[in-house]
Structure 1
Amino acid sequence: MRINLHISIICAQVLALALPSVASALSVSATGNLAHARSGATTSMMSDGRVLIAGGLSTPTTTSSIEIYDPASGAFSGGPFLSLNEPRSAAIAVTLPTGQVLIAGGRENVGSESTLRSAELFDPVSQQASETGMLGSRRQRATATLLADGRVLICGGFDSGDGGGVNGDPGVGGLASAEIYSPLSGMFSPTGSMSTPREQATAVLLADGRVLVIGGYDASNGVNLQTSEIYDPDSGQFSQVATMPGGGRSGATATLLTNGKVLIAGGYNGNYLASALIYSPDSNTYTPTASMGTARSQAGAVLLPSGKVLLVGGQSARFSATSLIESYDPVTQTFANEGNLASARGSASVSMLPDGRILVAGGYVPPPDNNHGGTILASAEILKQPLATATPLAHSMTTPRADASSSILLDGRILVAGGRNGSNVLASAELFSDLLDTFTATGSLATPRELASSALMPDGSVVLVGGRDASGAALASAERFNPLTSSFSTNSASLWHARYSAGKALLANGQLLVAGGRDANGPLASAEIFDGHTGMFRIAGSLATARSESSTVLLADGSVLVAGGLGTGGVLASAERFDPGSRSFTPTAGSLGTARRGAMTALLPNGKVLIAGGYNAASVALASAELYDPLSDTFSATGNLTGARADGSIMVMPDGVVMLVGGRGATGTPLATSEIYDPASGAFLAGPALSNARSRPIVALTSFGRALVAGGEGTAGTLASAGTILRSAFATTFTGQRPSFSVSASMLPLPAALILDGEGLRGSHRLQSIAGSEGSSGGTASTASNGPLLRLQRIDNQQVIHQAPDGTLPWTDLQFTTPTLARHDAFDPASRMAGAYRVYIGVNGVESNAAYVSLYWIEDEIFAAGFQVGD
Structure 2
Amino acid sequence: MDLPLRMRPNGPSYLAALAGVVLGALATGCQPRVVNYQVRVVTSACVAPSPLENVTHMRFRVTGDGLEEPIVMVVPETDAVVEIPEIPAGTNRTIEVRAYDGDPSAGGKVVSMGSSLPFTVPDVVPEDQTPTEITIFLRRVGVFTPPSTADAPTTCSMMLEPRAGHTATLLADGRVFIAGGYHLSNGNIDGSLDTTEIFNPGTGTFEKAAGLLVPPQNTSSLARAFMGAVLLKNGQVLLAGGETFNPPAGLFPVRSILIYDPTTNTFGKFDMKLPRRRPGVAVDSGGRVLIVGGTDGQGKPVEYAEWYDPEKGPHLARTEDPADLAAENPRLLPVKTPRAGMAVAPVQGGRFIAVAGGTDGVKLADEVLFFNFDGTTFQASPSTVRLREVRYAPGIAPFKDSNNLLVAGGYNSSTEPMTSLNSSEIIATDAFNVSDGQVLSQARGDVCVAPLPDGRVVIIGGRLDGGPGGLSSAAGEMMIPNPSGGASTVALPLLDFPRYHHTCTTLKDGSVLVLGGVEQRATGAPRVLQDVYIYTPPPLD
For normalisation by structure 2, the TM-score amounts to 0.66
Q: Which amino acid aligns with 1:576?
A: L
In the aligned structure 2, how far is the partner of 1:650 from the partner of 1:727? 14
Match of 2:279 in 1: 502
**TM alignment of 1:32-431, pairs within 5 A:** 258-259=74-75, 306=100, 308-310=102-104, 326-327=107-108, 388-393=142-147, 394-422=156-184, 423=189, 424-431=191-198
Q: 8 Å contact 1:542–1:585 — kept in the other structure?
A: no
CA change 1:410–1:20 in 2 (3 A) is farther
Deviation at 1:24, TM superposition (A): 9.8
In the aligned structure 1, how far is the partner of 2:284 from the partner of 2:453? 21
Q: 8 Å contact 2:43–2:51 — kept in the other structure?
A: no
Match of 1:727 among 528, 537, 540: 537
In the aligned structure 2, how far is the partner of 1:629 from the partner of 1:703? 26
Match of 1:614 in 2: 410
Match of 1:190 in 2: none
Match of 1:532 among 310, 319, 323: 310
CA RMSD of aligned residues (A): 3.4
In the aligned structure 2, how far is the partner of 1:478 from the partner of 1:679? 37
Deviation at 1:690, TM superposition (A): 1.2
Match of 1:672 in 2: 474
Corresponding position: 1:628 with 2:427: yes
Q: Which amino acid aligns with 1:517?
A: G
Q: 8 Å contact 1:676–1:684 — kept in the other structure?
A: yes
Higher relative CO (Cα under 8 Å, sequence separation at least 6) belongs to: 1
Equivalent position SS for 2:252: coil
Match of 2:380 among 578, 585, 595: 585
Deviation at 1:651, TM superposition (A): 0.4
Corresponding position: 1:696 with 2:501: yes
**Which segments of 5 or more consecutive residues in structure 1 lack a partner in the other structure?**
26-46, 48-96, 99-145, 149-206, 208-255, 261-280, 282-302, 313-325, 330-385, 732-844, 846-871
Match of 1:713 in 2: 518
Q: 8 Å contact 1:639–1:682 — kept in the other structure?
A: yes
**TM alignment of 1:784-795, pairs within 5 A:** none
Match of 1:487 in 2: 266
Deviation at 1:307, TM superposition (A): 8.4
Corresponding position: 1:433 with 2:192: no
Q: Which amino acid aligns with 1:570?
A: K
CA change 1:629–1:410 in 2 (3 A) is same
Q: Which amino acid aligns with 2:353?
A: V
Equivalent position SS for 1:570: coil
In the aligned structure 2, how far is the partner of 1:636 from the partner of 1:665? 24
Matched pairs, number = 392
CA change 1:662–1:553 in 2 (3 A) is same
In the aligned structure 1, how far is the partner of 2:509 from the partner of 2:451? 15
Match of 2:441 in 1: 642
Divergent runs of 4+, >6 A: 6-10, 22-25
In the aligned structure 1, how far is the partner of 2:301 from the partner of 2:389? 19
Q: Which amino acid aligns with 1:635?
A: V
CA change 1:603–1:544 in 2 (3 A) is farther
Equivalent position SS for 2:366: coil
Q: 8 Å contact 2:308–2:331 — kept in the other structure?
A: no
Deviation at 1:305, TM superposition (A): 6.2
Deviation at 1:448, TM superposition (A): 0.5
Deviation at 1:511, TM superposition (A): 1.4
Match of 2:296 in 1: 519
In the aligned structure 2, how far is the partner of 1:530 from the partner of 1:499? 15
CA change 1:456–1:10 in 2 (3 A) is farther
Match of 1:443 among 185, 203, 210: 210
CA change 1:518–1:309 in 2 (3 A) is same
In the aligned structure 2, how far is the partner of 1:22 from the partner of 1:657? 26
Q: Deviations over 1:177-233 (max 9, x none)?
A: xxxxxxxxxxxxxxxxxxxxxxxxxxxxxx9xxxxxxxxxxxxxxxxxxxxxxxxxx
Equivalent position SS for 1:498: strand
CA change 1:23–1:526 in 2 (3 A) is farther
CA change 1:404–1:520 in 2 (3 A) is same
In the aligned structure 1, how far is the partner of 2:54 from the partner of 2:470? 33
In the aligned structure 2, how far is the partner of 1:542 from the partner of 1:23? 60
In the aligned structure 2, how far is the partner of 1:674 from the partner of 1:23? 25
Deviation at 1:259, TM superposition (A): 3.6
Equivalent position SS for 2:42: helix
Deviation at 1:655, TM superposition (A): 2.6
CA change 1:304–1:470 in 2 (3 A) is closer
In the aligned structure 2, how far is the partner of 1:415 from the partner of 1:650? 18
Corresponding position: 1:12 with 2:30: no
Equivalent position SS for 1:561: strand
Q: 8 Å contact 1:478–1:490 — kept in the other structure?
A: yes
Match of 1:21 among 24, 48, 51: 51
Equivalent position SS for 1:696: coil
**Which segments of 5 or more consecutive residues in structure 2 lack a partner in the other structure?**
1-11, 17-35, 56-62, 77-82, 84-96, 111-139, 148-155, 214-221, 315-326, 521-525
CA change 1:567–1:328 in 2 (3 A) is closer
Q: 8 Å contact 1:515–1:543 — kept in the other structure?
A: no
In the aligned structure 1, how far is the partner of 2:479 from the partner of 2:399? 10
Q: 8 Å contact 2:398–2:455 — kept in the other structure?
A: no
CA change 1:576–1:21 in 2 (3 A) is same
Equivalent position SS for 1:700: strand
Equivalent position SS for 2:243: coil
Corresponding position: 1:576 with 2:369: yes
Q: Which amino acid aligns with 1:670?
A: S
In the aligned structure 2, how far is the partner of 1:717 from the partner of 1:655? 35
CA change 1:520–1:328 in 2 (3 A) is closer
In the aligned structure 1, how far is the partner of 2:37 from the partner of 2:516? 31
Q: 8 Å contact 1:603–1:609 — kept in the other structure?
A: yes
Equivalent position SS for 2:330: strand
CA change 1:701–1:328 in 2 (3 A) is closer
Question: Which one has the largest radius of gyration?
Answer: 1
Match of 1:599 among 369, 379, 394: 394
CA change 1:455–1:20 in 2 (3 A) is farther
In the aligned structure 2, how far is the partner of 1:306 from the partner of 1:440? 33
Equivalent position SS for 1:473: strand
In the aligned structure 1, how far is the partner of 2:192 from the partner of 2:282? 24
Match of 2:87 in 1: none
**TM alignment of 1:775-814, pairs within 5 A:** none
CA change 1:609–1:16 in 2 (3 A) is same
Deviation at 1:676, TM superposition (A): 0.7
